[in-house]
Structure 1
Amino acid sequence: MRFPGASVDRDEAAYVLTGAPLDATTTFQPGTRFGPDRVRKFASTYDDYDRRTDSFFSDLRVHDAGDVPAWDAVDDYLDHLSAELRAAAIDDAVPLLLGGEHTVTWGGVRATDPDVLVTLDAHLDLRDEYDGNPLNHACVVRRCLDGLPADGADDADGADEADAPDTDDRPTVDEVVVLGARTGSPEEWERADAPDVTVVAPEDVADWTREFDGLDDRDAYLSIDIDGADPGFAPGTGTMEPFGLSPREMRDAVRAVAPHCVGVDAVEVNDRDDGQAAALAGKLLREAVYSHADAN
């Protein structure tokens, strides 16, 4: 199944969409392996024309490269996925990634090497490890900031800098902005207090969006975790968290950030609803493309 409106060949593409159906570490409700095709399916009802930007999605040179089949060796999979996405970036196309669990975002960040990660998410995802696994989906923002220790050892919070293990040379970001976070462990909130992290509570996201005036010529990567939405709007996700964002608040944030992006993903959609989460993810991804193309 091809993403609707993704109508050009690879060598003509300005945007290359790739599915990453990773479902190795999802907690509570698995099913993200079905996310990419589910988003494609529920995006099929949307009109091609966007009045706001006066453009047709099918004219924006989007290519659907299909899925990168997942396997359970997550580190190896991320290496392979990031290489696939980097090939698009090298060709001056913007990678669009459909998850799959949120862990795949680190593959997108490594492929595009942005300065800033902006993520719409209910969770901080700043754990250094979860159940002993530093590549759990609850750790993805931490990996995008701090990388993975080169020896695979956990980087203990509070350790002296000189005693911390070296990290590997895979790209990380300089700053993270988490929009809509409403839960996290004490250690995550402690990491979030550092100057390279900004957390915007759900009730403040609309104001943040209105006041957003760019990133001072820095590149961004935008990650749309569908659980950033209130589960009343998008119940088809693994770890639902009430008191979240409305679809319109997410849309407005995506429209603001997308023009500055070198990559975009939509993740954490599963098959546990009637299509609400997939429909929202597909619509937000299209909004990102319309907004990026209109500005660039």
Structure 2
Amino acid sequence: MFPGASTPREDADYVIVGAPLDATTSFQPGARFGPGRVRTFAETFDDYDVRTDRQFSDLSVHDHGDVRAWNDVPDYVDHLSGVVRDVVWDDAIPLLLGGEHTVSAAGVRATEPELFVSIDAHLDLREEYDGDEWSHACVTRHALETAEEAIVVGARTGSEAEWERAAEADVTVVPPEDVGPWLQAVVGGARDPFSNKRVYLSVDVDGADPAFAPGTGTMEPFGLTSREMRGVVRAAAPHCIGFDAVEVNDRDDGQAAALGGKLLREFVYTHAHATD
């Protein structure tokens, strides 16, 4: 169980769902261990958040446990979307823990956002990767089958075709060097990408520079700091109807898992504080 997520399901405002899918990882496998590692490395976090003056254990969070994964990815995504949809129908906010990034497609299907926001090193706009249209490298494209637009924060690599797709009107890319000024504009009110929209926020831990989170499937240098990722989560959370943290694996000493767990908690603290 995620520490502090002990509220009964029928009383929960937030429901954590583990999704340990690890079927299409293209470099370093191990995302199947992500949900468990995030829970483990969250055990050291204090319950109290001084910024919002709240205890995590008082915020009505329930841990559903893991939805066992299998290798038929479209079938698993379909099943997982049903589990997440049940959370939505219970008027709770789903918090997915991956697992590879493909699981975000289930969260998007279930919540039906207008805007998909992804912190990610990669554009994930491919039609297919290695012949697989359900690869983790295709998840933003799948999200756009439901959402009207996407913002990819921290993207710094992609194929030529992906960059051409990203240049279309329904996709905004915020490269790492622009994230600081972009966040200042959002927080200061000069830019308003989230307001009056139903937002789904996905945190691919590889959006961080590998110095902060080496335990992920496809590391990409020149990425975001953990503080910049926290800033994006805090800015988007008040507008969100769903959240996930994905692509954590077991190939570091817990840095990626700790970051994923901390960002999940930042999301809950911020969303609860804003929606009281």
Please say whether Structure 1 and Structure 2 have the same fold, judged by a TM-score greater than 0.5: yes
The equivalent of 2:36 in structure 1 is: 37
The equivalent of 1:144 in structure 2 is: 143
Could you tell me how far 1:290 is from its partner in structure 2?
Answer: 0.4
SS in 1 for 2:25: coil
Q: Which amino acid aligns with 2:250?
A: D
The equivalent of 1:167 in structure 2 is: none
Does structure 2 retain, via aligned residues, the 8 Å contact 1:214–1:260? Answer: no
Cα distance between partner residues in 1 of 2:124 and 2:195: 26
SS in 2 for 1:190: helix
The equivalent of 1:53 in structure 2 is: 52
Cα distance between partner residues in 2 of 1:44 and 1:215: 32
The equivalent of 1:252 in structure 2 is: 231
- Would you say 1:89 and 2:85 are equivalent positions? no
Cα distance between partner residues in 2 of 1:104 and 1:228: 16
Cα distance between partner residues in 2 of 1:259 and 1:175: 18
Greater C-alpha Rg: 1
Could you tell me how far 1:216 is from its partner in structure 2?
Answer: 3.5
Cα distance between partner residues in 2 of 1:81 and 1:282: 21
Cα distance between partner residues in 1 of 2:70 and 2:141: 22
- Structure 1 residue runs of 4 or more that deviate by more than 2 Å after TM superposition: 213-216
Q: Tell me the TM-score normalized by structure 1.
A: 0.90
SS in 2 for 1:208: helix
The equivalent of 1:182 in structure 2 is: 156
The equivalent of 2:198 in structure 1 is: 219
Q: Which amino acid aligns with 1:114?
A: P
Q: Which amino acid aligns with 1:262?
A: I
Q: 1:105-163 CA distances to partner (integer Å, 9 max, x unpaired)?
A: 00000010000000000000000100111100000001111x3xxxxxxxxxxxxxxxx
Cα distance between partner residues in 1 of 2:193 and 2:151: 13
Q: 1:255-291 CA distances to partner (integer Å, 9 max, x unpaired)?
A: 0001100000000000000000000000011000000
Q: Tell me the TM-score normalized by structure 2.
A: 0.97
Q: Which amino acid aligns with 1:252?
A: G
Q: Which amino acid aligns with 2:67?
A: V
The equivalent of 2:189 in structure 1 is: none
The equivalent of 1:275 in structure 2 is: 254
Q: 1:157-207 CA distances to partner (integer Å, 9 max, x unpaired)?
A: xxxxxxxxxxxxxxx100000000000000000000000000000011111
- Would you say 1:173 and 2:147 are equivalent positions? yes
Q: How many residues matched?
A: 270
The equivalent of 1:152 in structure 2 is: none
The equivalent of 2:121 in structure 1 is: 122
SS in 2 for 1:95: strand
Cα distance between partner residues in 2 of 1:264 and 1:210: 22
Could you tell me how far 1:215 is from its partner in structure 2?
Answer: 2.3
Cα distance between partner residues in 2 of 1:5 and 1:241: 32
1:193 maps to which of 136, 156, 167: 167
Cα distance between partner residues in 2 of 1:82 and 1:18: 11
Could you tell me how far 1:214 is from its partner in structure 2?
Answer: 5.2
SS in 1 for 2:101: coil
Q: 1:12-59 CA distances to partner (integer Å, 9 max, x unpaired)?
A: 000000000000000110000000000000001000000000000000
The equivalent of 2:219 in structure 1 is: 240
Across the aligned residues of Structure 1 and Structure 2, the Cα RMSD in angstroms comes to 0.7
Cα distance between partner residues in 2 of 1:209 and 1:286: 20
Q: 1:74-107 CA distances to partner (integer Å, 9 max, x unpaired)?
A: 0010011000000010111000000000000000
What percentage of aligned pairs have identical amino acids?
67
The equivalent of 1:78 in structure 2 is: 77
Cα distance between partner residues in 2 of 1:203 and 1:43: 29
Q: Which amino acid aligns with 1:243?
A: F
Q: Which amino acid aligns with 1:264?
A: F
